[in-house]
Amino acid sequence: MAMKVYGDGMSACVARVLLCLHEKETEFELVPVDLFACHHKLPSFLSMNPFGQVPVLQDDDLTLFESRAITAYIAEKHKDKGTDLTRHADAKEAAIVKLWSEVESHHFNPAISAVIHQLIVVPLQGQTPDAAIVEENLEKLGKVLDVYEERLGKTKYLTGDSYTLADLHHVPYTYYFMKTSHAGLINDRPNVKAWWEDLCSRPAFLKVSPGLTVAPVTN
């Protein structure tokens, strides 16, 4: 039975999971959840994720939420299929994947998601973006990208010569960020720009990107 992913393809966090599934060449069913109608807050959905956020993955009797936990599960379950996203055969390489995945989660994502929330989500809610929040997080993001620029001057991807979860996790929010007037933070750093152009040219991304139209509130 194919895995089921509950969510909306426009959600950056759902797209993160869909990217992983495509990279692992794994069959799945996307079960639509209308975020604008708040269907993720209905009792039927809260029974799967009490925090009322997408995505949720169901695989037989297993239910998971939190996108990075889901991608880790998919990558491990299908480690011998599709793209090797964890470098599981080498403990040191696998540790580097985990390290840069933590960097994405704790340093990159808080800054970029705050910017996307203000510039895309807040206007969808009929409100005005908070310029102070945008500027504060652009500064934080710039500092993270400075680290990436140095790192990517030494390696093709964040963990070395191979594309892994550490790279994949960046893709959806970066895609939305590149639609804003602040894309120069990426484009003005040649190593980061080359990395991004590589990430967004992958076949898996080309399958997911048509669903990335607007960014609703997600986890």
pLDDT at 43: 95
pLDDT at 125: 85
Those residues with Cβ within 8 angstroms of residue 14's Cβ, 6 or more apart along the chain or in another chain? 5, 7, 8, 30, 54, 55, 67, 218
pLDDT at 124: 85
What span, in angstroms and rounded, lies between the C-alpha atoms of 118 and 62?
A: 34
pLDDT at 219: 36
State which residues of the chain have pLDDT below 50. 215-219
Write out the two tokens for 163.
Answer: 């594309």
